[in-house]
């Protein structure tokens, strides 16, 4: 897998947490992260209110703020498709 930007990883985690909630393991596999990486990102996302943790179901779920992040992220991808950009030396 190519090197990913921090914003790309956050978006993958948020996409994985959409719906009725997702376990830590499923997020880890969907976002292609190690346990340590996931722990760091989830801590940050929880602290910033982009995901919430459901104690009863032991799952993570995206918040309204997280949904808004994904909307903005998708808009940026449509405006500037990174796949088509060429890097010049």
Q: What letter does residue 57 receive in the DSSP assignment? A: T
**Given the structure tokens 């309204």, which residue do they identify?**
64
pLDDT at residue number 89: 47
Q: Token pair for residue 66? A: 């997280």
Write down all domains in the chain, each with its CATH number in brackets. Answer: 6-77 (1.10.10.10)
Pairwise pLDDT comparison (43 vs 87), residue with the higher score: 43
> Which tens digit of pLDDT belongs to each residue from 50-76?
999 999 999 999 999 999 999 999 998
pLDDT at residue number 63: 97
> Which tens digit of pLDDT belongs to each residue from 1-11?
567 899 999 99
Residue 41 neighbours by CB distance under 10 Å: 21
Among 9, 1, 3, 2, CA closest to 73? 9
In whole angstroms, how far apart are CA 22 and each of 58, 64, 71, 81? 8, 16, 20, 29
Q: What percent of the chain has pLDDT over 90?
A: 75
Task: Name all contacts of 30-39 with Cβ < 8 Å and 24+ positions apart.
Answer: 32/1, 33/9, 37/9, 38/13
pLDDT band at 20 (very low <50, low <70, confident <90, very high): confident
pLDDT band at 79 (very low <50, low <70, confident <90, very high): confident
Residue 65 buriedness (CB in 10 A; 0-12 / 13-18 / 19+): middle
């Amino acid at each position: 897998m190519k090197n990913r930007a921090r914003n790309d990883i956050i978006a993958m985690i948020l996409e994985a947490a959409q719906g009725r909630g997702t376990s830590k393991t499923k997020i880890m596999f969907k976002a292609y992260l190690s346990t340590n990486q996931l722990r760091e990102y989830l801590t940050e996302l929880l602290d910033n209110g982009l995901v919430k943790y459901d104690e009863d179901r032991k799952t993570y779920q995206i918040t309204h703020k997280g949904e808004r992040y994904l909307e903005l992220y998708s808009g940026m991808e449509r405006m500037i498709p990174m796949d088509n950009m060429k890097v010049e030396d």
